[in-house]
Structure 1
Amino acid sequence: MPVEPVLTPRARPAGLVPPTAPPIQATSQQSAELRAFLAQVQSSQLTSGLLRQDGGGPDTPFTADMLARNFEQIVFFNEYAGPGVRPGSASALRRWAAPVRLGVVFGPSVPPSQRARDTNDVIAYARRLAQATGHPISVADTPNFLVFFVSEDDRAETLNANAPALPGVTRSNLAPVRDLPRDAYCAVAAYASGTNQSTYTAAVAVIRSENPDLLRLSCIHEELAQGLGLANDSPDARPSIFNDDDEFALLTDHDEHLLGMLYDPRLSPGIGRAEAKPIVRTLAQEATAGPS
């Protein structure tokens, strides 16, 4: 049976309340209200010094011990519930074996200028992810990882029409990313339809097109990386996008180390935390190129 081992909705920061859904009205009005709210989210976060794009610096040092700890928390625990999965429960390592082929799908409401920007951002980020992991990742015509940019107006219809073409994806198990709560502005679900339930065979990322430019780019960075197997968040991870505090908008050097460790051949899909622990320790020391 296919599974949904990753579900990572990006939600609103504390203190901001999403617009209340109006009584039965045209969804275009809902989308306009959501766009205004998300612009407020981005403005508030930037004013608070969040959504940093510098990747960290002298104020965010990390050691091999810290990197190994963060890897274990992000890779070997579940953030969200799924079929037979409790939030916070332990998990085996999950990642892709086949090349990751990204496909970009837009809802009809997304304007051409936004489509061009988002497509270019996904292409550039795919190159960075491939370099960080050493795993084949590219935008391709025969995708197994679909990235949707959709509005409140067209999200359900666009996902229902396209996502079930992926192996193991059905309208039923697509629901967590298709039926987004109003306070989530992007999400990803990864699926394993083969005999090894720790090896991903498909993924679906959903990014609200109502997001302003930096929030959309932030969603691209987090959801695509989490769809590769960095499935959890940790409040201790810094500098990192895998932390619910939203301090960083874009993938950091720390996060590139996590991706490189995840796809190192000394680890394999299905390995547990205890067995992996000494390997993770070695990889973290190599990544930081010095003692802890």
Structure 2
Amino acid sequence: MTGFWRSLPLLGLLTLAACQAPAPGPQATPSPRPQPRPEEAGASQAELRKARAERNRAANAAAAEALTKASLASNAQRDFYARAELALRDRGRLRRDRVPQDAPIDVETLTRNFVAIALRDEYGSGGMRATGGGGPAPLRRWGEPVRLQMEFGTVVDVAARRAYRVEVSQFAARLAGATGHPVSLAEGNGNFVVMVLSDDERRAIGPRLAQLVPGIPAQDIAVMQGLDPDNFCTVFAYSRGAEPVYSNAVALIRAELPPLLQTSCIHEELAQGMGLANDSPAARPSVFNDDEEFALLTRHDELLLQILYDPRLRPGMTQAEAEPIVRQIAGELLAQSI
């Protein structure tokens, strides 16, 4: 699982947003736009239910056909990820306990992990993995409300789309509760897009990414299209110019994943997209650790989010500026939980 942060030149972002969208090419089918309300469209409830049922049947038929036509690589990946989840669980990984008794935390642990995860970058500007725990980075977070928008590839049927929406909506409420920042699932016009795509669809997603984030670097599109099989999911967050305040984010989750890995990706990538951009091998108990010990957001991770959005911290702060304040906030939070 990977996370990236990029800055987009302000002029380039605004100019490209006003230009015509790139010529359409092969791409995943986005989720259908919400249909007009009955009172707006003049349709009766019975007519609306019939139309919805017809759309669902069409979507399910398209999903079944897409699965039948899926490439050998995509089908092989379903088996690969099912085996990977089983192997991880057999080794005691992908734990789901929120407050594990074998991993106590104190003020210094919480402070150290916050610095490693929120004030370091997993990847450099060229997309290469940084060494030594990541490079120094300013504190980053969202200023405007986060509006999560779901987009699905054709292979995701209606029931799976509905389940994803429920799960993401519930997790959005959890993120909002932890941060005190508005986070919700939107029907459209989102600034944080969560894409669920098959291997075939992901490799053709370039034109859609260019529409979602005008000015997106070509190297980011290349990373998503060529995502390493070992990466179950990834997230890219963007700011305008050199501002350390996020304006857009895109998370990508493989449609081939089995249920627990899907949920783990929702937890990690959406939380990383809030501003906890790095992973640390020393962070425990945490999803921000590539050892996959924990599948779901822990109390430790919720505290990191709470610290990140504390008003005493400001976007752009360096480690030297932020660390004493982080230590104070960590002490207060842990004292409250005793």
Using the size of structure 2 for normalisation, the TM-score is 0.75
| Displacement of 1:183 | 2.0
| 1:253 aligned onto 2:299 | yes
In structure 2, the gaps of 5 or more residues are 7-68
CA offsets per residue over residues 122-147 of structure 1, 9 Å max, x none?
11100000100000111112200100
Q: Where does residue 192 of structure 1 map in the other structure? A: 239
Contact persistence 1:168–1:193 (CA under 8 A): no
| Displacement of 1:179 | 2.5
Matches within 5 A, 1:137-176: 137-140=183-186, 141-158=188-205, 160-161=207-208, 164-169=211-216, 173-176=220-223
Q: In percent, how many aligned pairs have the same letter?
A: 47
| 1:115 aligned onto 2:158 | no
| Displacement of 1:166 | 3.1
Residues 91/83 of structure 1: CA separation in 2 closer, same or farther (3 Å cut): same
| Displacement of 1:251 | 0.3
Contact persistence 2:205–2:225 (CA under 8 A): no
| Displacement of 1:58 | 1.7
Residues 40/71 of structure 1: CA separation in 2 closer, same or farther (3 Å cut): same
Q: Where does residue 18 of structure 2 map in the other structure? A: none
CA offsets per residue over residues 197-234 of structure 1, 9 Å max, x none?
x1111010000010000000000000011111101111
- CA distance in 1 between partners of 2:215 and 2:304 (Å): 27
Q: Where does residue 283 of structure 2 map in the other structure? A: 237
Q: Where does residue 78 of structure 1 map in the other structure? A: 121
CA offsets per residue over residues 67-109 of structure 1, 9 Å max, x none?
0110001011111222498712111111111111100000011
Structure in which a larger fraction of residues adopt helix? 2
Contact persistence 1:167–1:193 (CA under 8 A): no
Q: Where does residue 66 of structure 1 map in the other structure? A: 109
Contact persistence 2:151–2:196 (CA under 8 A): yes
- CA distance in 2 between partners of 1:224 and 1:159 (Å): 21
In structure 1, the gaps of 5 or more residues are 7-25
Using the size of structure 1 for normalisation, the TM-score is 0.86
Amino acid at match of 2:153: G
Question: Which deviates more, 80-89 or 261-270?
Answer: 80-89
How many aligned positions are there?
A: 269
| 1:135 aligned onto 2:178 | no
Aligned residue for 1:268, secondary structure, equals coil
Aligned residue for 2:193, secondary structure, equals strand
Contact persistence 1:64–1:284 (CA under 8 A): yes
Contact persistence 1:164–1:170 (CA under 8 A): no
Contact persistence 1:102–1:137 (CA under 8 A): yes
| Displacement of 1:28 | 2.1
- CA distance in 2 between partners of 1:86 and 1:271 (Å): 23
| 1:278 aligned onto 2:324 | yes
Amino acid at match of 2:213: L
- CA distance in 2 between partners of 1:114 and 1:290 (Å): 39
Q: Where does residue 37 of structure 1 map in the other structure? A: 80
Aligned alpha-carbon RMSD (Å): 2.1
Residues 199/85 of structure 1: CA separation in 2 closer, same or farther (3 Å cut): farther
Larger radius of gyration: 2
